[in-house]
Structure 1
Amino acid sequence: MDKVTITELAHKGDGVALVDGQPVFVDGAAPGDVVSLNTDGARAKIVAVHEASSHRVTPPCNHAGHCGGCTLQHLNDRFVADWKRDQIVTALAHRGIDADVASTVCMPPRSRRRAVFAARRNSSGVVLGFHEKSSGHIVEVPGCWVIDPAITAAIPQLETLLADGLTRRGEARVSVTTTQNGLDVAVEMPGKPLDGKLLSRLSAAGQSAGLARLTWNGEPVAQWLDPVILFDGLACTPPAGGFLQAVEAAEAVLRGKVMEALKGLKRPKRTVDLFSGCGAFALPMARLAKVDAFDSDGGAVASLDQAVRNLQGLKPVVSSRRDLFRRPLLPQDLKVYDFAVIDPPRAGAAAQVEQLAASSVPVIASVSCNPGTFARDARTLIDGGYEMGEVTPVDQFRWSPHVELVAVFKRA
């Protein structure tokens, strides 16, 4: 079998090699590897590594290569950090933007406060873990190097809890979040309604497991303690299974850049948080100025409302449910704001950014989890007369190809 050299990593973290003049994508490869491959169309698996890349390391986790949660553990940390930064540089360059991109801020192992597991019942009981890459097979992950140890330690109890509710015909989605008062668990199990018998068993199992809250298909089972999350010391109870930044320290880095930009303004009076979630930015911003917060998730809006009612010493926060993809705030709506922060999902926020670009908002802080859509939206703001400052990459999703980032735009 012919030897080939891995030349680079594609944006999803697969190695790239040329076979008969055509690119193939190779799982678990490192640039510089000399390998033999078993190819299947445009995909390939390594049969033998003849010369290992200088970037290759021994994965720290025993599940690497089987679990699909981590795809880059075979690469050294410095290479991964630089590669993630390069993904942002390349995406911006594709839009004609020559940017000042800082070094990647990396998160430590075992720092994920939120994990979404798959779970199934089989002949031997319940299996809970992560899918193999491109597979429906679930890999159990004791000793996982990504998630918070409090979650890892609870896996056996979660499997016991799920035993009465799972069927062999379906797969459950189990969201687990660490909070100030214990784990917050939200289970989605299609075709298994929460009847009285199941409610009783789940309630007993959840209490035995020491959970803070348990929900089943969006219905509350029980809340034993308030599942509080702190946003820069400000308490909020998020909706069950709702969106949160995956790593608390990563959220702090992103928020730090947002707050630095806000504090740079002289006496800001009114700000707007677009795609606000339950207040990771809005609540700290309210220490300095009035905040109007908008999000399409009714649960997040309700959580932010409740947090504001329970907190003292903040400027007014008004949260509203609004689909910013279909009904973006218009320039006449935005003219009252001194500052805006926008943190959209992976698809970006093309419609809202078009309106921001036509607005008079002096400063916009943009947070993103997708370099491609961030670059598209940055181009729109720049063409609208904004200047982009330094871009800060944050490696929130350790050993995955994903990267978070934040940048500040100022009206020229």
Structure 2
Amino acid sequence: MSEQVLRIAARGDGVTASGRFVAGAAPGDRVEDGKVVERGEHYQEPPCRHFPECGGCQLQHLDDAAYAEFVSGRVAAALDQHGLSTTLRPAHLSPPCTRRRASLKAMKTARKVLIGFNEQRSHRIVDMLECHVLAPELFTIIEPLRGLLAKMMAPKRPGAVQLSLTDQGVDVGLSGVEAEGLEAAEALIDFAREHALARLSIDEGFGLETRYEPRPVTVTLSGTAIPFPAGSFLQATSDGEEALVAAVRDAIGDAKGRVLDLFAGLGTFACAIASAERPVSAAEAGRDAALSLKAGAARAGLPVAVEHRDLYRRPYDPSELEDVAAVILDPPRSGAEAQCAALSGSNVPTVAYVSCNPATFARDAEQLVKGGYRLQWVQPVGQFRWSTHVELAAAFTRQA
């Protein structure tokens, strides 16, 4: 007997009322014996030839309504597991072809150089011949890179390609290559010039080392040009960054006084909110990112004080939070458990929390709520188009 698919599970499979999981199914599809027998209203024809093999996307077969419901559902399920309820705002989805950073795999075979994402649940590289998530500027450089890597990679040796779209153009980082000697150095520079790269860096086992950078590379965050170290983190899309910044601004409202931006990175949020009435103290464990934010903010005249600080080992304690008007948190996937414990014992009136992991966010949110905060709302964000990766921003206020 056939069943209807009701929702999409965390890893992208369709789920029926009886709890059956069916790969490649969309809400509304009818399935039987683990296979789709009839497509429903929320199925769309996947636009890319590499779907579903390519691990870059898991959900190209969903229409926007179903994909938005999946993004919101991931957040709602995580909150429910911790007994939390709040206003869940409509999910914000970044458009196709807007990803401005990507980490791709590369390998030289007997016939060609493969470049692309890994196959789902596999180490096999799906050779990228088209892509509907990368920004066109990034995708355009893939084919020329095959020719360059063909000269610089040993057969069957794994490599990687890091791409970022910066103010000056495409920033390329390569690993798993052999680039010793004058001829290799000249080939790299010639390639970078020919394709107008912003920068070309090589990792030969000691981290990325710049081989070509005609002008200092920057990224503009809320109007402020910040030096961009090779291989640095950047929000996946400009659209997603704007959505998260808007949510953080909304969360802290018209708070006046010093704001702490914790896990600040290059200053995505510090640059957006810093003002004479609202100076920002930013803390970041990455040395290069902290120095970049400090230099960029100083050049722009922004009131941003930057501290190089590991918040996992040394979170701000309640005594350091006494004069703070609001705190912004944007931790890695592991969350900010220790910092939230300290916030629970503080009198900070407002917390804006940005997360790339609904599960650790919900854990930390429960801790804040138990510590006297109210979870006002959550804004789900799907900037990794058609993937199961979900982000969010949330607002907490201390209850009287």
Same fold (TM over 0.5): yes
| Aligned equivalent of 2:224 | 234
Given the alignment of the two structures, is residue 211 of structure 1 paired with residue 197 of structure 2, yes or no? yes
Alignment of 1:304-323 (within 5 A): 304-312=293-301, 314-315=302-303, 317-323=304-310
Structure 1 residue 263, shift from structure 2 partner: 4.2
Cα 1:106–1:213 change in 2 (3 A) is same
The secondary structure found in structure 2 opposite 1:377 is helix
Given the alignment of the two structures, is residue 14 of structure 1 paired with residue 13 of structure 2, yes or no? yes
| Aligned equivalent of 2:239 | 249
Cα 1:219–1:78 change in 2 (3 A) is same
Amino acid at match of 1:276: A
Given the alignment of the two structures, is residue 359 of structure 1 paired with residue 355 of structure 2, yes or no? no
Cα 1:4–1:261 change in 2 (3 A) is closer
Superposed CA RMSD in Å reads: 2.1
2:258, 2:210 → 1: CA distance? 36
| Aligned equivalent of 2:29 | 33
Structure 1 residue 8, shift from structure 2 partner: 3.6
The secondary structure found in structure 1 opposite 2:117 is strand
Deviations 1:159-189 (A, max 9, x none): 2232333222422121111112110111222
| Aligned equivalent of 1:380 | 367
Structure 1 residue 29, shift from structure 2 partner: 1.9
Q: Is the 8 A contact 1:164 1:201 kept in 2?
A: no
Mark the runs of 5 or more structure 2 residues left unpaired by the alignment. Answer: none
Identity %: 37
Given the alignment of the two structures, is residue 170 of structure 1 paired with residue 157 of structure 2, yes or no? yes
Amino acid at match of 2:287: G
Cα 1:165–1:356 change in 2 (3 A) is farther
1:322, 1:199 → 2: CA distance? 37
2:325, 2:181 → 1: CA distance? 51
Amino acid at match of 2:187: R
Amino acid at match of 2:192: G
Amino acid at match of 2:189: S
2:340, 2:79 → 1: CA distance? 16
| Aligned equivalent of 1:399 | 386
Given the alignment of the two structures, is residue 336 of structure 1 paired with residue 323 of structure 2, yes or no? yes
- Count of aligned pairs between the two proteins: 394
2:73, 2:4 → 1: CA distance? 21
Given the alignment of the two structures, is residue 291 of structure 1 paired with residue 291 of structure 2, yes or no? no
| Aligned equivalent of 2:358 | 371
Deviations 1:293-350 (A, max 9, x none): 11111121121122123213x22x2222222112211111122311110001111111
- What is the aligned counterpart of 2:173 among 186, 205, 210? 186
Mark the runs of 5 or more structure 1 residues left unpaired by the alignment. Answer: 38-45
Structure 1 residue 269, shift from structure 2 partner: 2.6
The secondary structure found in structure 2 opposite 1:243 is coil
Given the alignment of the two structures, is residue 57 of structure 1 paired with residue 71 of structure 2, yes or no? no
Given the alignment of the two structures, is residue 223 of structure 1 paired with residue 210 of structure 2, yes or no? no
The secondary structure found in structure 1 opposite 2:331 is coil
Structure 1 residue 78, shift from structure 2 partner: 0.1
1:195, 1:408 → 2: CA distance? 54
1:387, 1:49 → 2: CA distance? 43
Q: Is the 8 A contact 2:56 2:387 kept in 1?
A: yes
Cα 1:295–1:194 change in 2 (3 A) is farther
1:7, 1:296 → 2: CA distance? 43
Bigger mean CA deviation after superposition, 50-59 or 239-248: 50-59
1:136, 1:243 → 2: CA distance? 23
- The TM-score with structure 2 as length reference comes to 0.92
Structure 1 residue 5, shift from structure 2 partner: 5.3
Moved over 6 A (4+): none
Structure 1 residue 402, shift from structure 2 partner: 1.6
Amino acid at match of 1:121: K
Q: Is the 8 A contact 2:27 2:66 kept in 1?
A: no
Bigger mean CA deviation after superposition, 196-205 or 236-245: 196-205
1:176, 1:8 → 2: CA distance? 34
Deviations 1:227-284 (A, max 9, x none): 321111111122111111101111111111212334422xx23111111001111122
2:316, 2:184 → 1: CA distance? 44
Structure 1 residue 17, shift from structure 2 partner: 5.8
1:285, 1:339 → 2: CA distance? 11
Structure 1 residue 192, shift from structure 2 partner: 4.3
| Aligned equivalent of 1:91 | 78
